[in-house]
Amino acid sequence: MAKPRTNSRSSRSHERSLRSESSSGASNTSRVADLLIDLRRSGGEALHRQIEASIRDGIRTGRLRVGTPLPPSRALAADLGVSRGVVVEAYQQLVAEGYLTSRAGGYTEVAIDQEPVATSASVAEPVRAPLIDFSYGRSDVTHFPRTVWLRSIRKILTEAPNELFLYPSRRGTPELRQALADYLNRVRGASVDPDQVVIVNGYAQGIALIISVLAAAGARRLAVEDPSSDDDARPMALAAGLEVVGVPVGEEGILVDALDRTDADAIVLTPSHQWPTGGVLSAESRAAVLRWASRRGAVVIEDDYDAEYRYDRAPIGAIQGLAPDQVIYAGSASKTLAPGLRMGWLVVPRTLVDAVAEAKITADRGSPTLDQLVFADFLARGEFDRHLRRMRPVYRRRRDVLVAALREKAPALRPAGIAAGLHLVTWLPSDVDESAVVTAAAARGVAVHGVNPYRLSGSCLGGLIFGYSSLSERSIVDGVALIADALANVRT
């Protein structure tokens, strides 16, 4: 490629710019290695051409994006072992071609943005995001209490002694374990000693630790509700070599009479708001579950995932409070604050707590101390309670709008489990295929999940799971109207 002709004025201007960026760009010299320039001094090709080609290729492949500053010419020349004039000449050529731009007083930087050229084998169809997403599992993080959380961060950074920033203890910081024990005993009717608490990175890690400890102790079979979540306990139990068996769910949670037939060593329950059906395990059934666990020497794992949100009935206490020696309680901040915090906790019977704590420290050397101390302060100052009081009416309004929209626009969908939580389920008429409705809704830009994919026992009566916590009231109404249209289309 012939070198373009430049007039002396523009050349002098560019030289001044390069001198400026050379003198002001000392902080940018770390980018020299990013250019990946490998000069071949015995190949016969001019050095400035090789520099041009390397930078040009970096821009064309997308490795050097628009706005990326280049090293000062003096720094790059020193790094490559060439004269500065060689680098200046390469930069000038790329400026002339439009790949770079150089301003007086500023850096020479990439002027255009080019994506890597994809081969036909790597081209994938773009995935369209749904216009309205009723997917479950997301709290409304736009309401995260940033101001008061920042206040706790500042307090901890100012007041925490230096030794608290060493490796954390196996069970978590004493401050958070105490704050959680106080909260759970007061709000969830639990029976918690701080020494029984193990801090984990969310429920997913918590259930993985529990399963690993139970498997190591000889457990061979895990019972789960049917239907139930398919992305935590079930795959982790199978990976640990445990057999997974389902216990059918009725209107009030699991059918306890079926428990004896499972011959299970542990069971995972969502007794305060069964996922996904929304049933609440009655006092009689809770007592029966605990009698079963006592006879079998089994462990009850209580997933208390959204019990803080109740709207139409009094709060239901945790099963753990009835039998702290038989129940492992699992909670997290994912539904109450934000899943991105990865903050969870286990309350473990004394016979198992050392093993679970040891599994935790082996897994990752402990959860971040700073996050624990911030959450402990947030809890102890009552900010967690205040946040929940603010959010309950928000979620209740959305729940009410959803129920009203279903009644008006889709009366064939029978809602259940509406008294609590961040979702509800609607049962479909027996003559309607669940997957067909889900597919028809997706074609209209609405994401909604069916119940049957979460069953272990095969397809039964179809249903739709409506998560409403992160949707505006307008979106809820519009989404139900589109699902009603999808349902009408499927039934014709």
Domain ranges in the chain are 8-110, 144-385, 389-491
Check if the beta carbon of residue 188 is closer than 8 Å to that of residue 317.
yes
Report which residue type is found at 73: S
Residue 79 pLDDT level (bands cut at 50, 70, 90): confident
277-286 per-position pLDDT tens digit: 999 999 999 9
pLDDT at 10: 46
Quick one: CATH architecture of 8-110? Orthogonal Bundle (1.10)
Q: Alpha-carbon Rg of the chain, whole angstroms?
A: 30
Q: What is the pTM assigned to this prediction?
A: 0.77
pLDDT at 429: 93
H or E element in which residue 77 lies = helix 73-80
From the candidate CATH numbers 3.40.50.10320, 3.30.230.10, 3.40.640.10, 2.60.40.1220, the one assigned to the domain spanning 144-385: 3.40.640.10
Query: How far is CA 411 from each of CA 211, 429, 476, 488, rounded to the nearest angstrom?
Result: 42, 10, 15, 11
Task: For the chain, give the percent of residues with pLDDT over 90.
Answer: 64
Cβ-defined contacts of 97-105 (< 8 Å, 24+): 97/56, 99/55, 99/56, 99/59, 100/55, 100/70, 102/14, 102/17, 102/18, 102/21, 103/17, 104/13, 104/16, 104/17, 104/20, 105/17, 105/20, 105/24
Residue 230 pLDDT level (bands cut at 50, 70, 90): confident
The C-alpha atoms of residue 140 and residue 305 are separated, in whole angstroms, by 15
Report which residue type is found at 147: T
Tell me what the pLDDT averaged over the chain comes to. Answer: 88
Q: Tokens 């059934």 map to which residue?
A: 285
From the candidate CATH numbers 3.40.630.30, 3.90.1150.10, 3.40.50.410, 3.40.140.10, the one assigned to the domain spanning 389-491: 3.90.1150.10
pLDDT higher than 60, residue 22: no
The C-alpha atoms of residue 466 and residue 449 are separated, in whole angstroms, by 7
The C-alpha atoms of residue 21 and residue 87 are separated, in whole angstroms, by 13
Neighbours of 257 (CB within 10 A): 12
